[in-house]
Amino acid sequence: MASIKTLEQALKDILHDDGKISKYDAKAVKELILADGKISNEEVLFLERALLDNVFDSQAHEMLSRLLLREELKYS
């Protein structure tokens, strides 16, 4: 499980550049989340909040939205 602080710092660093997260940046966020092969409830809540804040370009938003739908990766 990625540390929420690590994810938050990664987003802050990315947003500092231009205010939006591209699909390439989203791929790095996705890799942080999937490092252990699971998506924790904490990671799901983090992603949902970030997606609602609309800090992603359309391709990044789509990529991370699909990640939330991957039920088989979630902890039970």
Tell me, what's the pLDDT at 17? 66
pTM to 2 decimals?
A: 0.73
Residue 65 lies inside a defined structural domain of this protein: yes
Nearest Cα to 27, choosing from 67, 54, 55, 75? 67
Give the span between the Cα atoms of 58 and 23, in whole angstroms: 8
One digit per residue, pLDDT tens: the chain, 76 residues? 667 677 777 777 776 666 678 888 889 888 888 888 888 888 888 888 888 887 788 898 999 898 888 765 665 4
- Residue 76 domain-assigned? no
Residue 43 falls inside a structural domain: yes
| 66 part of a folded domain | yes
| Residue 34 belongs to a domain | yes
Q: Whole domain around residue 9: which residue ranges?
A: 4-70
| Helix residue spans in 1-76 (DSSP H) | 4-18, 23-33, 41-52, 58-68
pLDDT of residue 2: 63
